[in-house]
Structure 1
Amino acid sequence: MSPNPEAVLSVRDLSVSFRTDARTVHAVDHVSFDLAAGEVLAVVGESGCGKSVTSMAVMGLLPPTAHITGSIRLGTRELAGGDDKAYGKIRGKDIAMIFQEPMTSLNPVLTIGRQIGEVLRRHQGLSKKEARARAVELLDLVGIPAPAQRVDEYPHQLSGGMRQRVMIAIAVACDPAVLIADEPTTALDVTVQAGILEVLQSLRERLGTAIVLITHDLGVVADIADRVLVMYAGRPVEQAPVDELFATPRHPYTRGLLSAVLRPGASAASDGGGKRRLPEIPGLVPSLDSQPDACTFAPRCDRADERCTTARPGFKSVTDDAGAGAPHLAACWHPNTLQEAAQ
């Protein structure tokens, strides 16, 4: 499958492995997706499924022990195989990232204004005074009150939600075409989460920024995403528009994830002792030491047969639309029918 010329970010057959003296871990295995301008693509799955490694590979932030194959195109530029110097020219300017934990990502001994101004001075050549003035504007843009005061404060003087907004301000300082948000609402209370999502939505609408949202929170996905890519054990297993995925999940793993989400008015299964519990996916996530030429979800799937354990399913359309550009794709030999998915 060739890159989409209309996509601002096009990833094709991205694979990432980490070699050590004892073993090789296959963290990402042939992931492909396109991202259009102003679109939000949510990447979801259990911990260890390769979401963050995929985003770090796109940003060129993986350690030297990582072996990367495949294509990563930002517009017309090929990023895969680029060195730190090449990435340094675009990172923060054309593509930026919001990291999971702002307290460890922000420098504790530098003021907020200086940290925001650094990217502005590097990529836009602003003077110190101009960068500070722009930093105040950015803090106001992301909803931080009294920005002219906060610009001279340090990270420890801000709440967790405000630090996360500072990270967003740094990421969007140069109006990047692509913004990668890695668990931007983790460890934040519900009210603050809503505020962060509102900021991301506003940035998408005002600046036309395309967003890759890495998360395990399906409630967040429902609120903000246009499309969803579901990953399992380093592989893509399903991709669809968000409404279609929630209404008719075709891969058994996706259906299991959605079934485990508590919904208002939904009843959980009884454990036999009078208590109610959510459905769960049996078994454990497989080791990533080796990627079998088979379905990695087969050991946990009640639909698996001999074919599932001996041959790898292709990532293909489960609708009448043909080809890899179809809106609903799944990697499954026995996907749920529309009737089963809607139940």
Structure 2
Amino acid sequence: MTATQKPAEPVLSVRDLTVDFHGPDSVVHAVDGVSYDLHPGEVLAVVGESGCGKSVTSMAVMGLLPPTARIGGSVTLDGQELVGASERTWRSLRGRRLSMIFQEPMTSLNPVLTVGRQITEVLIHHQKLSKKDARARAIELLDLVGIPAPAERVDEYPHQLSGGMRQRVMIAIAVACDPAVLIADEPTTALDVTVQAGILDVLKSLRDRLGTAIVLITHDLGVVAETADRVLVMYAGRPVEQAPAEELFAHPSHPYTRGLLGAVLRPGSRTAEGRARLNEIPGLVPDLRKQPDACSFAPRCTFAQDDCRGGRPELRTLSGAHRIACHHPAGSAEPELMPVSASTSEEVSR
């Protein structure tokens, strides 16, 4: 980019997103104040423990939450506000400009329809292709995501495919209409290391070919290190740290982020008996029905002080694009953490 060029406008902007689930006796504050911009061709990784709000945030962006959810804030796609949009608007956008790869392909794919039928439905609905042209395009998409013999696989059912193949079919459906934004919710969960690498290569290839912006939801910090441009760390529904991926791994500043990185198994970190040894974050995830006006991580944090329990820290800039929600960032000394890579997952699986 030259000095006279302006940076590309974000294709997706999320501002102060909140999601509350209203039950008969209580309200669950699942997402509280999430904001980010996503630019064309960029990969944003959203990380955190189970229950921290990663998937709920993305389901809110997709307009797929149940009626019990109350959504606040703003979500704009190409400048179009989506919070409060009509179902007709959502039907015109989902699968065309905004797509999602769901966590479990075996339950997300329809078991009684061929994979080709499930791909062509998207093409016929959004691009008005004939059945013949849609089938030809489906075969092209299966080839694009690395499925061998696509002309034969197009007529097979999900149960006839391996887990990795089913995940690739999910990707083919999601990118059928060249979406501007692709949300990938745990796309490599329960896959072995070799298949995982193949799925990540497919996503990176699609980003490079189509300029698709990707939101990658994952627990796997090795996947983040290999794939992401920027990282958003969430805890108890709140954003606690945002930074470029290299900056986050080199200088993790929130105690929770450091805890996540410290809990990754390192080559050679085994007990005398040969068992894997992991560091853990002490304590439990808080009850989301009782979000305090304080730091949610304070009860588990070794750096917590009185002000952490008396006021919620807002995101503030540490340097450049590195932002943190913490009254007392982890000490000035660099953490003893080695760079995380995909080999971490392989070490854990042994």
Instruction: Give me the TM-score of the superposition, normalised by structure 1.
Output: 0.93
Query: Post-superposition shift, 1:278?
Result: 2.1
Whole-Å Cα distance in 2 between the matches of residues 204 and 164 of structure 1? 17
Number of the residue aligned with 1:302: 302
Identity of aligned residues (%): 73
Find the partner of 2:175 among 162, 172, 175. 172
The answer to whether residue 34 in structure 2 is matched with residue 31 in structure 1 is yes
The answer to whether residue 342 in structure 2 is matched with residue 331 in structure 1 is no
Whole-Å Cα distance in 1 between the matches of residues 186 and 144 of structure 2? 21
| Contact 2:303/2:330, CA 8 A, preserved across alignment | no
The answer to whether residue 230 in structure 2 is matched with residue 227 in structure 1 is yes
- Alignment RMSD: 1.7
Whole-Å Cα distance in 2 between the matches of residues 275 and 152 of structure 1? 45
Once the two structures are superposed, residues 117-174 of structure 1 have per-residue CA deviations (whole angstroms, 9 ceiling, x without a partner) of 0000010000000000000000000000000000011111111100000000000000
Query: Closer, same or farther in 2 for the Cα pair 1:110/1:160, shift >3 Å?
Result: same
Number of the residue aligned with 1:283: 283
Matching residue's letter, 1:91: R
Q: Give matches, 1:176-191, under 5 Å.
A: 176-191=179-194
Q: Secondary structure at the match of 1:339?
A: coil
Whole-Å Cα distance in 1 between the matches of residues 147 and 201 of structure 2? 13
Number of the residue aligned with 1:312: 312
Matching residue's letter, 1:64: P
Whole-Å Cα distance in 2 between the matches of residues 333 and 243 of structure 1? 23
Q: Secondary structure at the match of 1:100?
A: coil
Once the two structures are superposed, residues 237-263 of structure 1 have per-residue CA deviations (whole angstroms, 9 ceiling, x without a partner) of 001111111111000000000001012
Query: Closer, same or farther in 2 for the Cα pair 1:89/1:308, shift >3 Å?
Result: same
Whole-Å Cα distance in 2 between the matches of residues 157 and 139 of structure 1? 15
Matching residue's letter, 1:34: D
The answer to whether residue 106 in structure 2 is matched with residue 103 in structure 1 is yes
Find the partner of 1:46 among 25, 46, 49. 49
Query: Post-superposition shift, 1:277?
Result: 3.0
| Contact 2:15/2:34, CA 8 A, preserved across alignment | yes
| Contact 1:308/1:333, CA 8 A, preserved across alignment | yes
Q: Give matches, 1:1-343, under 5 Å.
A: 6-265=9-268, 267=269, 277-319=277-319, 321=320, 327-341=321-335
Query: Post-superposition shift, 1:279?
Result: 1.7
Instruction: Give me the TM-score of the superposition, normalised by structure 2.
Output: 0.91
| Contact 1:250/1:341, CA 8 A, preserved across alignment | no
Q: Secondary structure at the match of 1:202?
A: helix
Gapped regions of structure 1 (runs ≥ 5): 322-326
Query: Post-superposition shift, 1:83?
Result: 2.4
Query: Closer, same or farther in 2 for the Cα pair 1:148/1:276, shift >3 Å?
Result: closer
Matching residue's letter, 1:81: G
Q: Secondary structure at the match of 2:10?
A: coil
Whole-Å Cα distance in 1 between the matches of residues 57 and 161 of structure 2? 30
Query: Post-superposition shift, 1:5?
Result: 7.9
Q: Secondary structure at the match of 1:239?
A: strand
Whole-Å Cα distance in 1 between the matches of residues 294 and 45 of structure 2? 25
Whole-Å Cα distance in 1 between the matches of residues 305 and 162 of structure 2? 51
Matching residue's letter, 2:292: P
Gapped regions of structure 2 (runs ≥ 5): 1-6, 338-350
Whole-Å Cα distance in 1 between the matches of residues 336 and 63 of structure 2? 40
Query: Post-superposition shift, 1:275?
Result: 7.5
Matching residue's letter, 2:182: L
Number of the residue aligned with 2:347: none
Count of equivalent residues: 331
Query: Post-superposition shift, 1:274?
Result: 10
Whole-Å Cα distance in 1 between the matches of residues 121 and 98 of structure 2? 16
Whole-Å Cα distance in 1 between the matches of residues 165 and 87 of structure 2? 30
Q: Secondary structure at the match of 1:104?
A: helix
